[in-house]
Amino acid sequence: MIDQNPVFIPGPTNIPQRLLSAMQVQTKDHRSPDFVNVFGPVLDRTKRVFGSQHGTVVTFPASGTGGWEAAITNTLSAGDKVLIARYGMFSHRWVDMCERHGLDVHIVDCPWGTGAPSEQFESILSADKEHAIKAVLVTHNETATGVVSDIAKVRAAMDNSAHPALLLVDCVSSLASMPFEFDAWGVDVAVSGSQKGFMLATGMAIVCASPKALAAMQSTTLPRTFFDFRDMIEANGSGGFPYTPPLPLIYGLSASLDMLFEEGLSNVYARHTRLAEGVRRAAGAWGLPLVAQSSDLYSDAVSAIYVPAGFDSNALTNHAFEAYGVSFGIGLGEMNGKAFRIGHLGSLTDVMVLSGLATIEMAMADLGYPIELGAGVRAAQDYYRVASTLEKK
């Protein structure tokens, strides 16, 4: 029965039964007309979730990490200089990937719990008179710390410095959960995946590329075969795939888009904001601070919460699973042992989140945390009762 409990990790997320059913498809011929009739509209409709009319959506059988690799190998050449801020585990992993591909990585190290430093970016880009920096890489939602960065401010910094660098954004844990404006923010490549806001199984990298990025692709020299945009876009043009596609995930994505648009993207985003605020109210009632250092940085997809001094956050998440069969996010990198994470994205409701808050409260009480049992749940209940009523009016 343990598998009936929802997970509260920041991805992979809970999969609705409707999407499980959509992914349970018999083998089909991916060169047949009926696949073409499904696949073409999926690519076009996914652009709406990215907030783009002018971008091109490309998918690969991979996780979000494969999408990262596609983003850099299709737009950059060996030795190119890139600018990236490191403020969490996932921005750090993007740094590592760039270095492994032989790029010249200019790293701005920031305290964990902060976001992309747009003012520093502007200063660095303004000083780059010869435009040696070819791309700026930003993690929109840093899943390790529960921090969301302001991509519009990063774009403004690039525009203020009149710098032509590409803007590459990791929106793996934000897309379909929080607003994303690919065109309005001037993003050139955005990388997401099937297993977060789209509520599907892991296995499909979902990328959107701007006309500027596709133009740059023609002269770049980093090697790519499996992740070549050109092969994929050429095959997609006739409704096909350059190799065997992940059919279950494509059919699942079609159904996921149906669900998102039926709810309405604005309502999806409002739901995530409401769920996240309830979690934040609970953390406040427990007297536990968030890792995110200010309210403008709070993520609506995941909250990272510090445990009190002398306690081990890993022991807490292990106990929650062993005693109650519920998974919460462990602390990653600098947060290891210091913070746990509550994922509140994807297929979740107020009632489901309350069950998670009650569970982690019980685990904290079992381990002697200085909390009042029920305080966090009550704070979230008080908020959800009011917020849900106001949204329905």
Q: Tell me the domain boundaries of the chain.
A: 2-12+265-392, 25-261
Give the integer Cα–Cα distance in Å for 138 and 9.
Answer: 22
Q: pLDDT digits over 141-165, tens only? A: 999 999 999 999 999 999 999 999 9
Kindly give, in sequence order, each residue whose CB lies less than 8 Å from that of residue 47, ignoring residues fewer than 6 positions away.
53, 55, 57, 208
Could you count the other beta carbons within 10 Å of the beta carbon of residue 224? Answer: 17
Q: pLDDT digits over 107-129, tens only? A: 999 999 999 999 999 999 999 99
**Mean pLDDT in residue range 72-88:** 97
Place of tokens 């807490």: 316
Pairing of the two strands 147-148 and 141-142: antiparallel
C-alpha triplet 383, 17, 323: angle, nearest 5°: 60
Give the integer Cα–Cα distance in Å for 273 and 388.
Answer: 11
User: In the prediction, which pLDDT does 392 show?
Assistant: 65
The single-letter DSSP state of residue 69 is H
Q: pLDDT digits over 211-253, tens only? A: 999 999 999 999 999 999 999 999 998 888 999 999 999 999 9
pLDDT surpassing 80 at residue 3: no
**Mean pLDDT in residue range 22-47:** 90
Give the integer Cα–Cα distance in Å for 365 and 286.
Answer: 11
* Under 8 Å between Cβ of 330 and 313: yes
pLDDT surpassing 70 at residue 2: no
**Mean pLDDT in residue range 25-51:** 90
User: In the prediction, which pLDDT does 13 show?
Assistant: 97
* Under 8 Å between Cβ of 103 and 81: yes
Which H/E stretch holds residue 338? none
Joined together, the tokens standing for residue 222 give 């980093």
- Model confidence, pTM: 0.96
Helix axes 265-286, 247-263, angle to 10 degrees: 80
Which H/E stretch holds residue 158? helix 151-160
User: In the prediction, which pLDDT does 393 show?
Assistant: 60
Give the integer Cα–Cα distance in Å for 175 and 178.
Answer: 6
**CATH fold of 2-12+265-392, please?**
Aspartate Aminotransferase, domain 1 (3.90.1150)
User: In the prediction, which pLDDT does 33 show?
Assistant: 81
**CATH fold of 25-261, please?**
Aspartate Aminotransferase; domain 2 (3.40.640)
